[in-house]
Amino acid sequence: MNILVAGGAGYIGSHMVALLLEKGHTPFVIDNLSTSDLKNIDSLRKKYGEFRFEQLDIRNDEDLLKIDVELDAIINFAALKSIPESVEFPEKYYDNNIGGTTNLVKFAKEKGIKNFVFSSTANVYKFSETGVLSEESPTEPTAPYGYSKLACEKLLEYSNQAFGLNATALRYFNVCGNAMDGSIGDPSTTNTSIFAALFLSYYKIKPTEFSVFGTDFDTPDGSGIRDYIHVIDLCSAHLKAIEYMQNNPGFNVFNLGTGTGYSVLEIMEKFKEIVDKDFQYKIAPRRPSDVGKAITIPTKANTLLNWKAEHSIEDVITSMNEWYKKF
């Protein structure tokens, strides 16, 4: 298949490009490089050979319309994703994330591209006492970032009703891990997700500066529990989503996670086992908006997409260690 990968120079997008190339598909990659650079594109070309890349902003519809390739699907990773930044600059998030996706939908309509996969997030959900979220759980984001994603989901749903665009919104839980050989990874130095923060702190800042925020949650060891999904598993669900849409036209939402939670303290122990047995960290008070537990029930994706996460938490740590030690 010929697939447009918007945001394909970023962390998840570049793993998607790798998977497409491995499976014999043809990616056409576009990215404005606002939160990434050419490092992953160069690494992908070194590993898999040439593919088309254009530095392009998806908000620029004239540039989009110049794309002259017959496309089977669009996968849109292109977005800004910092929750705190979205609180400070809501207009920037609405412009980039909603404006960009709107232009891609117009492009799909204009060019007759039938299938659209969208990167959504577990941040669209309302806080849940149980900490277990399914696609039926109520939505109520806490920040403009989540609202920008929810607005895009609605746009896709209405576009399906209005002109038959097949669309899938994939709500990611905690994405982590890298290519197992460490050849591609997260180009950002400001990522605050736990694994990125841990490895950046360990290799770039000062190992002992890393803090575990909150050990007084209502969880077995008191630290927060999350559902960590390896980026390679996450990307394979995107391909399954396109295959599913080709046989089952419509609009769908799927949660992507493993269904298993790990606590932050469990992760610290795994990190010690795999990377450094003498690793020391600090304990700090919980942050205001943190919740004790957030995991998904991935039954819908397991059943309808015939997809299941296969990588372990050890794979996550090993692959990230390979990337960050050369970062």
Q: CA torsion 125→130→136→142, rounded to 10°?
A: -10
Nearer to ligand NAD, 75 or 305 (CB): 75
Nearer to ligand NAD, 4 or 275 (CB): 4
- If the CB atoms of residues 55 and 248 are measured against ligand NAD, the closer one turns out to be 55
- Nearest distance from C-beta of residue 58 to ligand NAD, angstroms: 4
Torsion of CA 7, 10, 12, 15, to 10 degrees: 100
Site of interaction with ligand NAD (CB under 6 A) = 7, 9-13, 31-36, 57-59, 77-81, 96, 100, 119, 121, 172, 175, 188, 193
Q: What minimum distance in Å lies between the beta carbon of 208 and ligand NAD?
A: 26
Question: Closest CB to ligand NAD among 24 and 115?
Answer: 115
Q: Minimum Å distance from CB 296 to ligand NAD?
A: 12
Residue among 11, 93, 125, 145 flagged as catalytic? 145
Nearest to 194 by CA among 276, 97, 143, 261: 261
Rounded CA separation 319/172 (Å): 19
User: 145 catalytic, yes or no?
Assistant: yes
Q: What is the 3-state secondary structure (H, E, C) of 120-179?
A: EEHHHECCCCCCEECCCCCECCCCHHHHHHHHHHHHHHHHHHHHCCEEEEEEECEEECCC
Owner of token pair 């519809």: 61
Other C-beta atoms closer than 10 Å to the C-beta of 273 total: 12
Q: Write down the least CB distance from residue 151 to ligand NAD, Å.
A: 13
Catalytic site positions: 145
